[in-house]
Amino acid sequence: MWPWEHAIVAYLAYSLCCHVVFRDSPTGLEAFAVVFASVLPDLIDKPLAWELGVFDSGYAVGHSIFFAVPLAIVVGTIAHAATRPRAGLAFGLGYLSHPFADIVDSVFRQGVLQVELMLWPIASVEGRPPGQGVIEGFLYFFGRYWNAVLAGDLSTYLLLQFGLAGVVLVVWLADGAPVLRETLSGGLRVARAFLSHVFGSSRSNHPGRR
């Protein structure tokens, strides 16, 4: 699956969790945590396999359930201690959604149940790097993907992907556009503080006449 596909699935799952369990929308920190965690397995395994040659394929330790579960517990414990338990939950859900989504993707696109994608080191996935490094590998796969889009060869898979992208955009806006919301709010606070400082200094340097 592509990184944006993992981000879409993870955000939708966490947003639903927030509304059902907490009766609330995700905060900016939580939205960032779930999206970042949803792509983190690939950020770990792809460079190790495609760039450094540590593994044969891009499905290894980062995708392993034996690594993902302890990592989610550790991050969740740290987040709870920092009084941000929901951010820890968001990270854990985002990270754990990745290998399961890859397995579902293998069934949907290839008709094969590849449970071994998440069972390293008990089981491993055979393969070879698609290029000389991470960038070359990404460009190779993305080129095939983009050519299919430009050619209008929209399979059921691509149509589903575009549909989910539209759904997640609507859900994100309904949630109040987390991350963007906090970024704009922080920018406005900085701008107000700056203007207040500038005009405050100006008034102090030019006192009014009596």
Tell me how far apart the alpha carbons of residues 183 and 195 are, in angstroms, rounded to a whole number. 18
Q: Does the pLDDT of residue 208 top 60, yes or no?
A: no
Question: What is the per-residue pLDDT for 103?
Answer: 94
Q: What is the mean pLDDT of the chain?
A: 88
CB atoms within 10 A of CB 152: 6
pTM of the model: 0.86
Q: Considering the chain, what percentage of its residues have pLDDT values greater than 90?
A: 57
What amino acid occupies position 149?
V
Q: Residue 157 is encoded by which pair of tokens?
A: 């898979």
pLDDT in tens, 141-154: 777 777 777 776 66
Q: Give the contacts of 87 (CB within 8 A, at least 6 positions apart).
A: 27, 29, 30, 33, 79
Contacts of 78 (CB under 8 A, 6+ apart): 88
In this prediction, residue 203 carries a pLDDT of: 63
φ and ψ of 108, to 5 deg = -70, -45
